[in-house]
Each structure stands twice: as C-alpha cells, then as structure tokens.
C-alpha cells in the first residue's frame, strides 16, 4: 500500500480522458448559479512537473499530453478538447507544456466564489505536497483537505447543503479491495444523494475486478433508477512494458450534453493518441 504516486502517470492518456470529462461536468453544473460542492475522493499531489521528478521516469506524458499538444498544432480540435488543452496550458507560462495540473488544480481553477471543493488524500507524502500546493492558490479558502479514507467518509459528505454536487472517484486500485470499497461507497452515496453527479475512473485491465467494474456500476445505477454513461479509451493493443493501454470512466447522472461531447472528442483522441490498430473507444449510455 502507498507505493502509488500519481506523478508517474501525470499527463497520460488516462489523465486526458478523465480530466476532459471532469471539466465538462463542472462547466455544465455551473450553468446554474446555485453553489456547487465538488468532492475529489482521491486527490494526489495536485499538480506535477513533467520535466523533473517521477514523471521523467515513466514519461507517460509522451504518449499523452505531449502527443495531443503536437496533434493540435496541425489538426483542428473540437471545442471540448480545445477547452481541456486551454486548462492545461493555463498552468504553463511557456508555449511548451512542462506542468500538468491534476484534478485538484483543474477543479480549483474552475471554482466560482459560491462553490466548494473537498479533497481527500491518504498518502503521507502526497498529502503534505497537496496542502502546500493548494495553499498557494487564491481559491485556497474554498477548499478543504482531508487526510482521511474517502471511501469511508463519502457518505457523510452527501448531500451537500446546496444539494448540487459532483463527486470524482479516482482510486489507484493499488489495493484490490478498492473495487469492493468503491461499490459500497457508491451504494451508500446514492442512497443518501441519488441526484448527485458521480464520475468514476478505472483502469482497463484483464484483472477480473477491473473487467467487471462497468457492469457492477450499471447494476448499482439501475437499482437506484439513475442514468449512466460509460466510456473507455484504448490507445494501444499490444501489452508493452507495464504501461496502461486503456482506461474508462463511468458517470452516474451524466449531463445530457456529455455523450455528444464525447462522440466528438473520442474519434479525435483516437487519431491523436492511438499507437496501433488496437486503438478504439467505447461510448454507451442509458437514460433512466
């Protein structure tokens, strides 16, 4: 436990899919003026250098954000991807991308004065880095940071007072039990706050628990009579080294606009990030 450091994976294709969707969800929910509470259950360190430290060991950004940025120079993008790239570039002063914002920074920058952000992080080193990074932001007063197990705490945080909430659940799945904890946390959260928007990230692996996750989530959403959207992005087929080749997002109570945005974005991501003929995507939804 606790060998996972997100810096190794910052700016990867999986981050692109997750953060592209996250930005869309926040901006949709902010179309109404009421206060929005966002819970990021697995925060990480908040923001990452791509030119020194862990990120330079794994170089996952080379097949992720750097590929996309290069593609963007000679190809036209859809508004969703252009908007995502703008959010990433906003953390960089130079033309070249050397800094990659994790979900806490992406979310913090999007907060309006009436919104709140709650970040959870359990890793003893990551939590200190996260606290330091967030303290430098002008939005820091709107952000609470908890060094607690978010799976256990989530049910106590929903519904938020404004009853408008977005929950990002992005575990490392380092502990195989995370799959089970996720199911319990989702059951409890939907029981208390059925109308919240929940975005769950997962790695697409051959491991039984990972392969079963979308169906488990569909079952939970259906039992609570909730709409859902399921998407996966695969950038290569042949297993190379120990890199992740595909990842997915499962969204419960997705905005009606998300499927259209992904139908535009995913074919572009395939062109930009695809490495071999195994590239592909999944996009399915159900309206309750």
The residues that are catalytic are 170
Q: Which of residues 93-112 bind ligand SAM (CB under 6 A)?
A: 102-103
Distances from the Cα of 49 to the Cα of 14, 54, 119, 235, angstroms: 17, 9, 20, 23
Site string for ligand SAM, 170-189 (x = CB under 6 A): xxx-----------------
Residue 4 binds ligand SAM (CB under 6 A)? yes
Q: How many CB atoms lie within 10 A of CB 211?
A: 12
> Annotation-wise, does 123 bind a ligand?
no
The answer to the question of residue 202 lying near ligand SAM (CB under 6 A) is: no
* Structure token pair of residue 248: 């997915």
The answer to the question of whether 128 is labelled as a binding residue is no
Q: To the nearest whole angstrom, how small is the minimum distance from the Cβ of residue 76 to ligand SAM? A: 27
Query: CB under 6 A: which stretch of 28-36, 168-176, 192-200, 211-219 binds ligand SAM?
Result: 168-176
Instruction: Give me 224's structure tokens.
Output: 């609570």
Cα–Cα dist 20/82, whole Å:
10
CA dihedral 268→269→274→277, nearest 10 degrees, is -60
**Residue 42 near ligand SAM by CB under 6 A:** yes
Closest CB 96 distance from ligand SAM, rounded Å: 21
- Specify whether the CB–CB gap between 4 and 174 falls below 8 A: yes
CB-neighbour burial class of residue 249 (10 A; exposed 0-12, middle 13-18, buried 19+): buried
Using CB under 6 A, list all residues that contact ligand SAM: 4, 6, 18, 40, 42-44, 102-103, 120-123, 126, 149-151, 170-172
Binding residues: 19, 42, 103, 121, 149-150, 170
């Amino acid at each position: 436990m606790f060998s996972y450091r997100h810096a190794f994976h910052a700016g990867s294709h999986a981050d692109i899919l997750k953060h592209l969707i996250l930005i869309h969800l926040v901006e949709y929910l902010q179309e109404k003026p009421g206060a929005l509470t966002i819970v990021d259950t697995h925060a990480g360190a908040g923001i990452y250098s791509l030119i020194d430290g862990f990120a330079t060991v794994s170089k996952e950004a080379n097949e992720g954000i750097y590929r996309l940025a290069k593609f963007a120079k000679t190809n036209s993008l859809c508004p969703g991807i252009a908007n995502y790239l703008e959010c990433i570039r906003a953390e960089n002063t130079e033309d070249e991308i050397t800094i990659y914002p994790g979900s806490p920074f992406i979310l913090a920058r999007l907060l309006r004065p009436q919104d709140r952000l709650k970040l959870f992080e359990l890793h003893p080193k990551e939590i200190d880095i996260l606290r330091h990074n967030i303290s430098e932001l002008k939005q820091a007063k709107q952000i609470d940071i908890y060094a607690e197990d978010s799976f256990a705490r989530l049910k106590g945080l929903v519904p938020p007072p404004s009853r408008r909430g977005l929950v990002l659940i992005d575990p490392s799945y380092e502990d195989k039990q995370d799959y089970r904890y996720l199911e319990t946390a989702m059951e409890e959260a939907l029981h208390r706050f059925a109308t919240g928007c929940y975005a769950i990230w997962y790695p697409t692996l051959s491991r039984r628990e990972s392969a079963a996750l979308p169906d488990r989530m569909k079952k939970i959403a259906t039992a609570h009579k909730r709409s859902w959207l399921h998407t996966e992005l695969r950038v290569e087929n042949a297993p190379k080294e120990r890199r992740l080749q595909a990842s997915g997002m499962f969204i419960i109570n997705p905005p009606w606009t998300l499927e259209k945005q992904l139908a535009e974005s995913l074919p572009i991501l395939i062109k930009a990030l695809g490495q071999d003929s195994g590239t592909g995507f999944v996009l399915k939804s159900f309206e309750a």
